[in-house]
Amino acid sequence: METKQHTPTEKGLSILDSIKTKYFPDGYSSKPALSGQDYRFSRRGQVEFKRGHQLRITRLQAAGGVL
């Protein structure tokens, strides 16, 4: 099976460029933004971890897996 190569046109490229500048004015980065805070070692993070751990234990007990 033979595949045909697509050659972009000038109009198509200009449309893509206009879309990029409209929706990504600062450029595009595939990496996630690192502006979020890390709560792992804060009180909030410890509470979330404890809550999640307790929920896992409860689910395992309900399934008959632990204790």
User: Please, are residues 66 and 60 in contact by the beta-carbon 8 Å criterion?
Assistant: yes
Look at the pTM and tell me if it is higher than 0.95.
no
Q: How far apart are CA 49 and CA 67, in angstroms?
A: 21
Strands (E), 2-63: none
4 phi/psi in degrees, rounded to 5? -95, 140
For residue 54, is pLDDT > 80? yes
CA dihedral 42, 47, 50, 56 (to 10 degrees): -120
pLDDT of residue 5: 84
- Domain borders along the chain are 39-67
**Look-up of token digits 């972009």:** 8
